[in-house]
Amino acid sequence: MQRTEGQGVIAAMLASASYTVSKSRWGKVYTELMRTPLILGAMFEEKRRYQCCIGQVVPVNPLEPLIRNLWIGEVTSSVQCQDFNAKVKVCTKQNSTWDSVCDLKLARDKACSGEDADCISKYDLDYYGECQQEPLKGLVVGVYSENGTVELTKTGQDLIKPFEEAFQRRFDIVKEKIGKGKVHIFYGLSDEYSLVAVTGLGSRDQGYDDNEELDLGREAVRHSVASACRALVSKGCVKITVDPCGDGEAAAEASYLSTFNSQPLKSQNKAKTPVNVKVTVVEEDEEVTKAIRRGSFMGLGTTMARYFTDMPANHMTPTIFAKEATRRLEAVGVEVTTHDQAWAEEMKMGSFLSVAAGSDQPPKFLEITYNGAGEGEPPVALVGKGITFDTGGIELKKLSSMMRMRGDKAGGAVVVAVIYTLASLNQQLRGLRLPRLILADALLYAQSFKPKLIMDFATLTGGAVKATGPTATSVFTTQRDLFEKLRKAGSRTGDRVWRMPLWKFYSDRMVKDCELADICNSADSPQSHLDAAAFLKEFVKTDAWLHLDIAPVALGVTVVEEDEEVTKAIRRGSFMGLGTTMARYFTDMPANHMTPTIFAKEATRRLEAVGVEVTTHDQAWAEEMKMGSFLSVAAGSDQPPKFLEITYNGAGEGEPPVALVGKGITFDTGGIELKKLSSMMRMRGDKAGGAVVVAVIYTLASLNVPLNVKGFIPLTENMPSGKATKPTDVVYAMDGTSIVVNAPDAEGRLILADALLYAQSFKPKLIMDFATLTGGAVKATGPTATSVFTTQRDLFEKLRKAGSRTGDRVWRMPLWKFYTDRMVKDCELADLCNSADSLQGHLDAAAFLKEFVKTDAWLHLDIAPVALRGDSNPPSYLKGSCGRPVRTVVEFLTDLSKTKG
């Protein structure tokens, strides 16, 4: 070993320990390996890299004046030894003692003495290697600092007594540096503890801060203990004894929370070793012991919630969640019942089941009962949102938004953990808990138990995150006293809450502005957290309710005198109005309440009541008729397609009919070409064309208009799935025309193509089709008029005059060869493309349909501008769909019925 004349040297076994020195010209490198502190240092230029390797000689003496002020915070990296069997060579200059350098002792001996030569110490690092194989134990002790005085807590003093002298020597050097929240680690002080972490608590009596709503003393204990525990864990400790630091509950909470490292899915050699922590007292103190026990279970309960929340969705399905919750809760004497889907259906939990409908994982509904106060005492109901993974459903989230959605079961996790903790602490309280749910049904079910208090927990909205950020849980309640109790509890635990308004204004947005049902599950507002709370409030019939959004942590006409003409006019107007409202009904009904099957049944019931014949064809029929274009749209949906054929013979046999064809997409997601949510919100109305056909024929039959009419409505959903039609797929229409599907969202024209071809087999004298086909038509005319496409000016003129009388106007658009060429000549894969790369979607759609119509007596009505309410609609239409242009078409066909031929 090389010697440096006139200096003591240490050749230390270190494995590539690299430090960057930037604080001063004197580089300071500090490390302590278990029982033996090894001081390494050198004099070198600022920011120069210093590399320590096995066997390198490092000058020591120049550091002697600096070592007493050495502070671990100046080291930018820690040293880990890998070759544990390497020997440490230690040499000292004659008459030099290590006691002169901070009483540094080299473990069991002071190395060689006296001889000016290289020598080998009796001490080696085999011991360090053994410690790495056995659990490392650490100790946390707290120190108060106030008025220039730094001293250990009472329990801290008791814990270090076995090695008090060694501790005090080292502690005296650094104690002034250990301020509030700071941690200093000592190595090699004790045979029992490999590492001792001293953590600064600040002053003894820090009091309560009204502005921050925090008990500062308790927060100091939590923060300091947690910092110390994390520091020890980072050094390899897997057993930690903790000083209660004057607040056993806070210390115990922090100990468990800061050392939680559950990694059940990692392989054994890569997972972190679980850490065992124990907050202890040397002298028995019943109150402190109770506080420690309470804090320990509070910490354990919180880590349990973290476990359930963090587990990936494929490892925490509804079924696994139920089983795991049952196992843990039954272990502390809590009763758990797992209800299945059949039970939920029997309980008519349609709200809950509507969410579960999209998943292959069977839904579960947990009912958990803890009777801590005995029978007869009304329970507290805890309700938790248990979405084990949230993709957004049809309203598909972005990938970045989905990354944390395994945590959408946090509400359920919280309630499992709360009841577990209550049971573990034997709290005298009855609790009922219902986690895997849609909250509305769960809240209703919870109230059947007549609870004295209801609390629900859910990662419900991003609005709550924006409102308070990660500092507090958003709480909604009308009861100030209840909130105040919760607020005070949060101040003690440091897990604060903040009250948010629960006013009628927000309820009105969810109820009064809802057209289709009693209540909407969302409102078009940026205050989603307020709307969500208002929604839930509609299902709670008691004021004793706390909702915690934990996402941040419904005329008649009277005739006074009989007048035949007036009576006829009233009758006619009544049926025109009824027909329009019928169209509105079919258009407005939600997709899950107006599937193709339901539409067919409901249309049949209403039309047969006025003597109209209805035939419902199924998929097998459509396949037999080779309606490949229609069926290509239906392929993506689990709902079986239907094809309605309606016959009204008002003019008797032999008279050629008028053919009415209506688009019947009961819901349009865009298929594989998935729409945005904002675009999907009105897509239940994509069946408006079919609704118009039903309503027009109903009105004609009710008014006994002498006209033969045939109606044709292809009914299906346009949905994404593994069977859905993909972009550039080629399909075949009924007449053999090949169509390349460039745009799966341009599905209306695909189903109309086959319907138009089938309609012509009845040799109609006129064909009219109705469809909410394109956004281009909306942009072209706005909500003022229906866009009409035809090559027959006289036909359009008659329709225009009818619209002038009803006030439901129409406007003609061009149907030129230029647009047809874009769909045909520019199509490479097939005879025809279903879309063109242009901004005039309404013109392209009409040109596409024209390829399937072999007569000039055709009117294509794109009703997208008028099917739903627009700004220019008169008040008589109110809200929702408008049923347009039913009255204009009835007026037009009535006029047509009076014309011979």
Judge whether residue 289 has pLDDT over 70. yes
Q: Model-level pTM?
A: 0.60
Concatenated DSSP letters of 510-548: HHTT-SSSS--S--SSS-HHHHHHHHHHTT---S-EEEE
Backbone phi, then psi, for 116, in 5-degree steps? -85, 70
Rounded to whole angstroms, the Cα distance separating 364 from 106 reads 63
Of 96-110, 385-399, 573-587, 634-648, the range with the lowest mean pLDDT is 96-110
Of the residues 28, 35, 537, 749, which is catalytic?
749
- Is residue 317 in some structural domain? no
| Active site (annotated) includes residue 675 | yes
Q: Is 6 exposed, middle or buried (0-12, 13-18, 19+ CB in 10 A)?
A: exposed
CATH number at residue 378: 3.40.630.10
One domain, residues 227 and 181: yes
Scanning 238-340, the segments in alpha helix (DSSP H) are 248-258, 286-310, 318-330
pLDDT above 70 (res 81)? no
Mean per-residue pLDDT, 197-215: 83
- Region 421-425 average pLDDT: 78
Model pLDDT, residue 134? 62
As a whole number, mean pLDDT of residues 706-720 equals 96
Angle at 319 between CA 315 and CA 323, to 5 degrees: 90
Q: Once rounded to an integer, what is the mean pLDDT over residues 342-346?
A: 92
Do 52 and 146 share a structural domain? no
Greater confidence, 567 or 90? 567
Residue 664 lies in a domain: yes
Task: Give the integer Cα–Cα distance in Å for 873 and 865.
Answer: 11
- Measured CA to CA, the distance from residue 23 to residue 9 in angstroms comes to 24
Ranges of H-type helices in 643-687:
677-680
Angstrom distance (rounded) from CA 171 to CA 165: 10
Could you tell me how many residues make up the chain? 901
AA letter at 330: E
**In a shared domain, residues 111 and 175:** no
Burial annotation 236-266 (CB, 10 A radius, 16+ → b, else e):
ebbbbbbbbbbbbbbbbbbbbbbbbeeeeee
Give the pLDDT of residue 722: 92
Task: Indicate whether 672 and 816 sit together in one domain.
Answer: yes
What was the pLDDT predicted at 43? Answer: 25
Question: Is 69's pLDDT higher than 50?
Answer: no
CA–CA gap between residue 645 and residue 711 (Å, rounded): 6
CA 29/CA 23 separation, integer angstroms: 11
Nearest C-alpha neighbor of 507 from the set 496, 516, 518, 493: 518
* End-to-end C-alpha distance for the chain, whole angstroms: 119
Tokens 């909604």 correspond to what residue?
476
Per-residue pLDDT tens for 437-480?
A: 357 888 888 888 888 888 887 777 776 666 666 677 888 898 88
- Looking at the structure of the chain, the number of domains it has is 4
308 occurs within a structural domain: no
Under 8 Å between Cβ of 613 and 647: yes
Same domain, 480 and 576: no
Q: Is the pLDDT of residue 595 over 80?
A: yes
Contact 419, 368 (CB under 8 A): yes
**Same-domain check for residues 724 and 588:** yes
What's the rounded Cα separation, in Å, for the pair 16 and 657? 93
Phi, psi of 175 (to 5 degrees): -60, -35
pLDDT tens, 352-390?
898 899 899 999 999 988 887 767 778 888 888 888 888
Domain final position from 522, 549, 576: 549
In a domain, 797, yes or no: yes
Beta strands in 335-392 (DSSP E): 335-339, 365-371, 380-384
Give the pLDDT confidence score for residue 880 in this predicted structure: 63
State both tokens at 290.
């109770």
- SS3 label, residue 253: helix
Angle at 420 between CA 417 and CA 421, to 5 degrees: 85
Higher-pLDDT residue of 5, 638: 638
Tokens, residue 124 = 């080696």
Structure tokens at 853: 């119509």
Give me the pLDDT at residue 409, please.
85
pLDDT at 719 over 70: yes
Strand 120-124 to strand 136-146: parallel, antiparallel, or no bridges (unpaired)? unpaired
User: Domain range for residue 162?
Assistant: 135-302
Nearest to 638 by CA among 688, 588, 686, 595: 595
- Residue 697's CB is within 10 A of a number of other CB atoms, namely 31
C-beta atoms surrounding 120 within 10 Å: 14
Omega prior to 470 cis, within 30 of 0: no
Is 525 within the bounds of a domain?
A: yes
In the DSSP assignment, the letter for residue 457 is: E
pLDDT band at 690 (very low <50, low <70, confident <90, very high): very high
Whether residue 57 is contained in a domain is answered as: yes
Share of the chain above pLDDT 90, in %: 30
Q: Note the pLDDT of residue 282.
A: 56
Tell whether 663 and 695 lie within a shared domain.
Answer: yes
Where among 132, 150, 180 does a domain terminate?
A: 132
Domain identity same for 203 and 289: yes
With respect to residue 559, please indicate whether it lies within any of the assigned structural domains: no
732-763 per-position pLDDT tens digit: 999 999 999 999 999 999 999 999 999 999 99
d(CA 809, CA 834): 28
User: Encoding tokens for residue 5?
Assistant: 């004349």
The active-site residue, picked from 328, 642, 675, 822, is 675
Other Cβ atoms less than 10 A from the Cβ of 135: the count is 14
Residues 172 and 115 in one domain: no
Question: CB count, 10 Å around CB of 71?
Answer: 14
Q: Looking at the structure, do residues 733 and 674 belong to the same domain, yes or no?
A: yes
CA gap 718, 716 in Å, rounded? 7
Give the containing element (helix H, strand E) for 183.
Answer: strand 183-187
Amino acid at position 42, single letter: A
What does the alpha-carbon distance between residue 480 and residue 472 come to, in Å, rounded to a whole number?
17
Specify the CATH number for the domain of residue 168: 3.40.220.10
Three-state secondary structure of 112-176: CCCCCCCCEEEEECHHHHHHHHCCEEEEEEEEEEECCEEEECHHHHHHCHHHHHHHHHHHHHHHH
Half-sphere exposure of 331 (CA within 13 A, CB side): 11
Task: Examine the fold and report which residue of 132, 149, 171 is the final residue of a domain before the chain moves on.
Answer: 132
Residue 698, pLDDT above cutoff 90:
yes
Report angle CA 807, 813, 818 to the nearest 5 degrees: 175
CB atoms within 10 A of CB 818: 10
Let me know whether 762 and 795 are in one domain: yes
3-state secondary structure of 843: helix
Same domain, 24 and 155: no
Structural domain includes residue 322: no
- Is 749 one of the catalytic residues? yes
Mean pLDDT for the chain?
76
Phi, psi dihedral angles at 77 (to 5 degrees): -155, 155
Let me know: does 57 contact 14? Beta carbons within 8 Å. Answer: no
